[in-house]
Structure 1
Amino acid sequence: MSRYLISFDDGAMTFPEEELPEVAKASLEVVREARDAGVWVFGGGLQRQRASVVSTDGTVTKGPYPETKAVLGGFAVIDVPSREDALEWAAKIAAACRCAQEVREIMPDPTV
């Protein structure tokens, strides 16, 4: 099994605000389906533009950032047998969230 990060950028969800309850319900249904299938590891939405960057010297730069800086809006980590499986789950999440999703394989941890 391999773990994959499925994510979308902040601001990618461009549907009308009144549709948010319907989108939230659809998203939770996909999470429930992934849990029932045993592939869900962890995920969630992130507070908009609340990121902080910590430099190698310990300097902290707090958001919000200019709109030109891409910021992660939400993510899911799943554990599936193949990239194709990850892409299928990403398609379900994209449909539920009504926005495109990025899929990246998480490098295995040799100590685990």
Structure 2
Amino acid sequence: MPKYLLLKHYRGAPDAVNNVPMDQWTPQELIDHVQYMEDFAERLRGTGEFVDHRALSPQGTFVRSDGEGRPPVTDGPFPETKDLIAGWTIIDVESYERALELAAELSAAPGAGGKPIHEWLELRPFLTEWPTVSE
């Protein structure tokens, strides 16, 4: 069965249907949002479609090689960044269509006022074999 990554982006820009920024949610709204995702994962454990999920801290660092063995490091992501990777879920499903179905369901997690946020989730298949190069 193919595995897919559902990448959860927190967008500061008002592009979701329920676009109240997460830092303005009440503690109960945050609890309800996380519980929705836990319930989603538990149901998929029962069907064998759940692999793993994690939330990510908003703090991070960008690192790259400078070619001299001293990687330049920058702080980030920054609060003014409009798009922040908030977490991920890995699913193992029978088809791409099933992956789309589950991504749409997870997109409806509740936000402010208990209303579905209809957030964008990035759906990425795992690479199962390396591409071949023909000459």
Scaled to the shorter chain, the TM-score interval is 0.7 to 0.9
Query: What is the aligned partner in structure 1 of residue 85 from structure 2?
Result: 72
2:44 & 2:55 partners in 1: Cα distance? 16
Instruction: Summarize the alignment of residues 1-112 of structure 1 with structure 2, pairs less than 5 Å apart.
Output: 1-11=1-11, 14=20, 17-18=25-26, 19-48=29-58, 50-57=59-66, 58-65=71-78, 67-68=80-81, 70-97=83-110, 98=117, 99-108=119-128
Q: C-alpha separation between the residues in 2 aligned to 1:33 and 1:10? A: 24
Question: 3-state SS of the aligned residue for 2:123?
Answer: strand
Percent identity of paired positions between Structure 1 and Structure 2: 31
- Which letter does structure 1 place at the counterpart of 2:128? P
> CA shift at 1:101, angstroms?
1.4
> What amino acid is the match of 1:104?
R
Structure 1: which 5+ runs fail to align? Answer: none
Measured on the aligned residues, the alpha-carbon RMSD in Å equals 2.3
Q: How high is the TM-score relative to the length of structure 1?
A: 0.80
Distance of 2:36 and 2:3 partners within structure 1: 23
* SS of residue in 2 equivalent to 1:47: coil
Unaligned regions of 5+ residues in structure 2, if any? 13-18, 111-116, 131-135
Distance 1:73 1:100 in 2: 12
Q: Structure 1 residues 37 and 11, CA, compared in 2 at 3 Å: closer, same or farther?
A: same
- Native 8 Å contact 2:6 2:121 kept in 1: yes
Q: Aligned-pair distance for 1:66?
A: 5.7
Higher gyration radius (CA) = 2
- Aligned residue identity for 1:96: A
Aligned residues: 109
Deviant stretches of 4+, over 4 Å? none
